[in-house]
C-alpha cells in the first residue's frame, strides 16, 4: 500500500504541469464540453443520452465522466485536466498491485518481486508515450478503460469471484472498445505465469471466458458499424489493399516496441503516408521483425513461456488498433501503447532480473546506471512533452516539426491561427495545405473558410466551387459557398446551396440555421420557423436558434 501511494503521488507530481492546458478544438475536447453544457450536469437526461449514443463508438462511462467534470469545474479546463492526472496516478498504482499479485506465481525473491512490480509501474507512469492519454482531456476514455481493465486482470490473477472479473470487464468495455483484448490477455496469463493450462485443458480455459469473448466479438461488430457510419472516421476497405493493411499492422507492432525503448521524435499525430508509409524497406524490416519474434516464441515455447505469453498479449492489445482496421488518416497513435506496453515491460523486467542474477558487481553497477539514466530521460521527456499538449497551436506546430508535409496539420494550425485573429498566418497555412493536397476537397473547403474570415468572399467562393468539382456531394462546401454568396449580396444563390446542403445531409445544423436566418431576413417567417425547429431537433443546445424561434413565434 505504501509503495502504491508513493507511485500515485509521484505520478501526479510529474504530470501536474498539464493542468495548465486548454481545451483542444477539433480534437473532441470541445465536443465533450458542448454536450456537458447542454445537459447541465449529471442527471437522468445525461445518463439516458450517454447510454443511447453510439457515434463514433459506444463509451457511455467517459461521457458521463465529462458531464460530471463540467458539473464540478464548469468551463475551467484546469479541473478537467486534473481529473485526468488523478486517473493516471490511480492506474500506475493499480499496475503495481496487479503485478505484485501476478508475479507471486513466479519463482522470485521478495526483493525481486518488489523491484519488478515497482519498476514496471514507474516506467508505466512516467513513459513519454503516456503523455497523450493524460494531457489530452479526451484521453479520459483510455484512462478509464485502463483503470477497469487493469482492475479486471488483477481480479483474475488474484482468483477473485467470476462476477467481479466480469463486472470490471464490462465496465472497461463501456469505456472503450479496446477492452476486447482483455480475455485474450487472460489466456496469455493462464499459460504463463499462472500455468493454469497445466492442470486444466485449454477447452476448459476457453469455456471460462466464452461469455467475455462473445461480448468482445459483439462490441467489435457494433464498433465497426458505428465507426463506418461516422463521416471520415474509418477508411473504406478499398482505400487500402489487404496486403497494405497487413504491412501497417506489422509496422504498428514494431513502432510501439521501438518507441517504448527510445521515445524520441514523438508526435501528437502520425499521418498515414507522410513519414510513416508503406515504403518497401520499412515494410520489410517490420515484417521480418514480427516474423522473427513470432518464430522464436513458437520454437522456444517450452523453454521461454514468458516470451510466448508476453508477445502474444502484446499482439492482442495492438491488433485491434493496428492497420488491419484503419481508423482515420493516422497510421499510429501514442495513446494506443497505454496498456499494450505492459507485456513488453514485463519481458524487459524479467530480462533485467536474469542479468542481475548472473552479473558480477561491476556488471550490476553498469546495469543500475543504465536503468537510472533511462528513467531520468523518460521523466525529463515526459515533463517537456506535456507542454506540447498545452493548446492547439503548440500541438500542431509540433506535428509540423515532424511532418511538415502533412496537409491536415497545416489545415489545423491555420484554423487555430484564424481563431486567434491571426488572419494572414492562418490563410498561409491553409494555402500550404492546398499545395500539398490539391485533389482533396477538404483542403479547398478549409482554404475557402479561411478566405471568408479574411473577407475575401470572391476568392472563397472559388475554392468552394473547386471543392464541389472534386466532390459534388460535399454538403459543407455547399453550405460555405452559400455563406460566401450571401456575403457577396447574392441571397438567392446562397439559399439554393443551403437547400442542397440539407438535401445531402438533412441533419446539417449549420445549413438549417443559415437558411433560416436568410429566410427570416427575406420576410419568409413561416419557412424560417421550420428550419429553426429542424436545427433545434438536431442540436437543442443552440441558444441563438431558440431565441430566433421565440422571436418569430411572438411576432406571429
Identify whether residues 116 and 219 lie together within a single domain: yes
What pLDDT does 327 receive? 64
The answer to whether 185 and 317 have CB atoms below 8 angstroms apart is yes
What pLDDT does 139 receive? 96
Our count of domains for the chain comes to 2
SS3 category, 234: strand
What pLDDT does 237 receive? 47
For 472-492, b/e burial (b = at least 16 CB within 10 A) is eebbbbbbbbbbbbbeeebee
Identify whether residues 241 and 345 lie together within a single domain: yes
Identify whether residues 382 and 484 lie together within a single domain: no
DSSP 118-156: HHHHHHHHH-GGGHHHHHSGGGHHHHHHHHHHHHHHHHH
- Report the share of the chain in percent with pLDDT over 90: 65
Identify whether residues 126 and 234 lie together within a single domain: yes
The CATH number linked to 442 is: 1.25.40.10
**Residue 180 belongs to what domain range?**
2-390
CA atoms 452, 454, 455, 459: torsion sign: negative
Identify whether residues 155 and 143 lie together within a single domain: yes
Would you state the cell numbers that stand for residue 540, as one nine-digit string? 437543442
For the chain, the distance separating the N- and C-terminal CA atoms, rounded to the nearest angstrom, is 69
What pLDDT does 233 receive? 47
Domain boundary among the residues 365, 390, 415 is at 390
For the question of whether the overall pTM of this predicted structure is more than 0.75, the answer is yes
Separation between Cα atoms, residue 389 and residue 270, nearest integer Å? 15
Identify whether residues 11 and 132 lie together within a single domain: yes
Total length of the chain: 556
Identify whether residues 327 and 407 lie together within a single domain: no
**Closest C-alpha among 455, 449, 454 to residue 479:** 449
**Closest C-alpha among 464, 450, 448 to residue 421:** 450
Separation between Cα atoms, residue 54 and residue 518, nearest integer Å? 33
CA atoms 220, 215, 151, 44: torsion sign: positive
Place of cell 516506467: 123
The answer to whether 447 and 431 have CB atoms below 8 angstroms apart is yes
Identify whether residues 260 and 347 lie together within a single domain: yes
Domain boundary among the residues 390, 406, 422 is at 390
The answer to whether 190 and 199 have CB atoms below 8 angstroms apart is no
Identify whether residues 475 and 551 lie together within a single domain: yes
Separation between Cα atoms, residue 327 and residue 313, nearest integer Å? 22
The answer to whether 66 and 117 have CB atoms below 8 angstroms apart is no
Separation between Cα atoms, residue 36 and residue 140, nearest integer Å? 15
Identify whether residues 327 and 405 lie together within a single domain: no
Q: Give me the residues of the chain with pLDDT under 50, please.
A: 231, 233, 237-238
**Which residues are CB-neighbours of 218 under 8 A, at least 6 positions away?**
none
Identify whether residues 289 and 415 lie together within a single domain: no
Would you state the cell numbers that stand for residue 69, as one nine-digit string? 467534470
Separation between Cα atoms, residue 124 and residue 339, nearest integer Å? 8
As beta bridge partners, residue 332 has: 270
Q: Catalogue the long-range contacts made by 545-552 (C-beta closer than 8 Å, 24 or more residues apart).
A: 545/513, 545/516, 548/516, 548/517, 548/520, 552/520, 552/525, 552/528
Amino acid at each position: 500500500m505504501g509503495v502504491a501511494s508513493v507511485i500515485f503521488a509521484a505520478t501526479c507530481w510529474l504530470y501536474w504541469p498539464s493542468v495548465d492546458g486548454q481545451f483542444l478544438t477539433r480534437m473532441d475536447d470541445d465536443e465533450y464540453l458542448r454536450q456537458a453544457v447542454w445537459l447541465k450536469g449529471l442527471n437522468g437526461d445525461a445518463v439516458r443520452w450517454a447510454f443511447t449514443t453510439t457515434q463514433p463508438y459506444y463509451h457511455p462511462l467517459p461521457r458521463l465522466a465529462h458531464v460530471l467534470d463540467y458539473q464540478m469545474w464548469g468551463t475551467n479546463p484546469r479541473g478537467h485536466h486534473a481529473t485526468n492526472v488523478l486517473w493516471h496516478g490511480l492506474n500506475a498504482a493499480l499496475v503495481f498491485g496487479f503485478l505484485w499479485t501476478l508475479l507471486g506465481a513466479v519463482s522470485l525473491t521478495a526483493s525481486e518481486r518488489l523491484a519488478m512490480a515497482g519498476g514496471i509501474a514507474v516506467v508505466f507512469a512516467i513513459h513519454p508515450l503516456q503523455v497523450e492519454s493524460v494531457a489530452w482531456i479526451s484521453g479520459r476514455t483510455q484512462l478509464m478503460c485502463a483503470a477497469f481493465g487493469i482492475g479486471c486482470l488483477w481480479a483474475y490473477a488474484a482468483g477473485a469471484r467470476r462476477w467481479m472479473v466480469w463486472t470490471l470487464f464490462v465496465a472497461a468495455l463501456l469505456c472503450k472498445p479496446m477492452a476486447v483484448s482483455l480475455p485474450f490477455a487472460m489466456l496469455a496469463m493462464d499459460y504463463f505465469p499462472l500455468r493454469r493450462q497445466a492442470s486444466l485443458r485449454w477447452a476448459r480455459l476457453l469455456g471460462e471466458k466464452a461469455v467475455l469473448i462473445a461480448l468482445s466479438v459483439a462490441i467489435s461488430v457494433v464498433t465497426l458499424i458505428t465507426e463506418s457510419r461516422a463521416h471520415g472516421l474509418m477508411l473504406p476497405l478499398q482505400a487500402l489493399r489487404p496486403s497494405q493493411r497487413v504491412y501497417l499492422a506489422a509496422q504498428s507492432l514494431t513502432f510501439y516496441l521501438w518507441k517504448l525503448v527510445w521515445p524520441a521524435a514523438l508526435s501528437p499525430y502520425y499521418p498515414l503516408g507522410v513519414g510513416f508509409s508503406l515504403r518497401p524497406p520499412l515494410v520489410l524490416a517490420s515484417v521480418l521483425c514480427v516474423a522473427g519474434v513470432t518464430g522464436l516464441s513458437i520454437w522456444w515455447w517450452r523453454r521461454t513461456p514468458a516470451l510466448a505469453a508476453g508477445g502474444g498479449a502484446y499482439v492482442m492489445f495492438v491488433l485491434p488498433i493496428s492497420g488491419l482496421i484503419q481508423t482515420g488518416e493516422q497510421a499510429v497513435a501514442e495513446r494506443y501503447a497505454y496498456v499494450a506496453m505492459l507485456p513488453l515491460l514485463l519481458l524487459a523486467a524479467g530480462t533485467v532480473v536474469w542479468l542481475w542474477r548472473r552479473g558480477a558487481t561491476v556488471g550490476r553497477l553498469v546495469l543500475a546506471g543504465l536503468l537510472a539514466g533511462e528513467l531520468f530521460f523518460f521523466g525529463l521527456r515526459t515533463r517537456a512533452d506535456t507542454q506540447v499538449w498545452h493548446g492547439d497551436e503548440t500541438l500542431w506546430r509540433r506535428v509540423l516539426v515532424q511532418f511538415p508535409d502533412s496537409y491536415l496539420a497545416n489545415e489545423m494550425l491555420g484554423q487555430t491561427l484564424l481563431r486567434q485573429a491571426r488572419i494572414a498566418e492562418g490563410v498561409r497555412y491553409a494555402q500550404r495545405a492546398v499545395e500539398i493536397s490539391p485533389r482533396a476537397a477538404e483542403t479547398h473547403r478549409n482554404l475557402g473558410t479561411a478566405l471568408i474570415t479574411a473577407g475575401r468572399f470572391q476568392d472563397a467562393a472559388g475554392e468552394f466551387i473547386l471543392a464541389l468539382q472534386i466532390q459534388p456531394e460535399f454538403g459543407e462546401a455547399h453550405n460555405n459557398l452559400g455563406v460566401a454568396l450571401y456575403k457577396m449580396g447574392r441571397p438567392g444563390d446562397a439559399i439554393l446551396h443551403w437547400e442542397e446542403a440539407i438535401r445531402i445531409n438533412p441533419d446539417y445544423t449549420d445549413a438549417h440555421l443559415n437558411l433560416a436566418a436568410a429566410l427570416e431576413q427575406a420576410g419568409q417567417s413561416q419557412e424560417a420557423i421550420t428550419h429553426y425547429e429542424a436545427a433545434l431537433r438536431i442540436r437543442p443546445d443552440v441558444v441563438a436558434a431558440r431565441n430566433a424561434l421565440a422571436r418569430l413565434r411572438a411576432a406571429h
